[in-house]
């Protein structure tokens, strides 16, 4: 069973449908899950607050090797903190979350992901596949080796990139919304399901 942790105001019907998972906030359901997905819509501080009652359960599951996927804000919550707002993330990846420069924020729309390292989530997807992004913040992992895919964006100072996908062992994060990225996104979710 895949537990889809619902902490935002959003509706995760498309994630649920794609993964055939259970949308839940119940710690017991999360405890019994084979895989955990944390989709994220909202503000880091607010969602971190709502995550509190589940925090220990999720951390223990991650430690035990349960595959975990954080989507968008859910990816940011893998880090200890964010400049978007106070509150404690899961802190399973070292680093922080920063705001995109004003001229590039919010980053809304379809952009390409270029693989940087081996990641089973990206298997069978061509380099440069398009995914749908909606965000104003992006993660800065301390350890560059967790970045498995990158996306380029334009700033006043030229073209830069942010981590589009991260992975450390059983922990995965994607900055884009696979559930909104049509066939390519569904392939990512399918790859996660197959882990």
Return the active site residues. Answer: 72, 177, 179
> Using the rule CB under 8 A, which residue among 185, 188, 191, 192 binds another protein?
185
Verify binding: residue 130, another protein, rule CB under 8 A.
yes
Q: What are phi and psi of 170, to 5 degrees?
A: -90, 5
> Using the rule CB under 8 A, which residue among 65, 86, 101, 128 binds another protein?
128
- Beta strand 68-72 with 129-135 is unpaired
Q: Using an 8 Å Cβ cutoff, are 4 and 21 in contact?
A: yes
Pairwise CA distance, residues 42 & 34, whole Å = 26
> Using the rule CB under 8 A, which residue among 50, 99, 117, 153 binds another protein?
153
Between CA 42 and CA 85, with CA 30 as vertex, the angle to 5 degrees is 25
Q: Using an 8 Å Cβ cutoff, are 40 and 70 in contact?
A: yes
Site for another protein in 14-73 (CB under 8 A): 14, 16-18, 41-43
Select 29 or 134, whichever has its Cβ closest to another protein.
Answer: 134
> Using the rule CB under 8 A, which residue among 32, 56, 86, 110 binds another protein?
110
> Using the rule CB under 8 A, which residue among 57, 66, 81, 129 binds another protein?
129
Q: What are phi and psi of 139, to 5 degrees?
A: -85, 150
b/e map 125-141, b = 16+ CB within 10 Å: beeebbbbbebebbbbb
Q: Using an 8 Å Cβ cutoff, are 178 and 144 in contact?
A: no
Query: How near is the Cβ of 183 to another protein at its closest, in Å?
Result: 8
Query: How near is the Cβ of 192 to another protein at its closest, in Å?
Result: 15
Residues that bind another protein (CB under 8 A): 9-11, 13-14, 16-18, 41-43, 102-103, 106-112, 125-130, 132, 134-136, 151-154, 159, 177, 179-183, 185-186
């Amino acid at each position: 069973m895949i537990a889809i942790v619902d902490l935002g105001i959003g509706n995760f019907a498309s994630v649920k449908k794609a993964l055939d998972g259970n949308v839940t906030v119940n710690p017991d359901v999360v405890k019994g899950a084979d895989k955990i997905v944390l989709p994220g819509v909202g503000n880091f501080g607010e969602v971190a607050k709502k995550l509190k009652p589940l925090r220990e359960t999720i951390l223990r599951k991650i430690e035990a090797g349960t595959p975990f996927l954080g989507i968008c804000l859910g990816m940011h919550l893998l880090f200890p903190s964010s400049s978007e707002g106070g509150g404690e993330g899961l802190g399973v990846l070292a680093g922080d979350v920063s705001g995109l420069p004003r001229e590039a924020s919010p980053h809304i729309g379809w952009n390409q992901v270029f693989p940087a390292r081996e990641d089973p989530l990206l298997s069978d997807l061509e380099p440069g596949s398009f995914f749908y992004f909606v965000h104003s913040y992006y993660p800065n992992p301390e350890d560059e080796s967790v970045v498995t895919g990158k996306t380029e964006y334009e700033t006043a100072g030229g073209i830069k990139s942010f981590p589009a996908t991260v992975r450390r062992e059983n922990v995965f994060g994607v900055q884009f919304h696979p559930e909104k990225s049509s066939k390519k996104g569904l392939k990512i979710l399918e790859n996660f399901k197959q882990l």
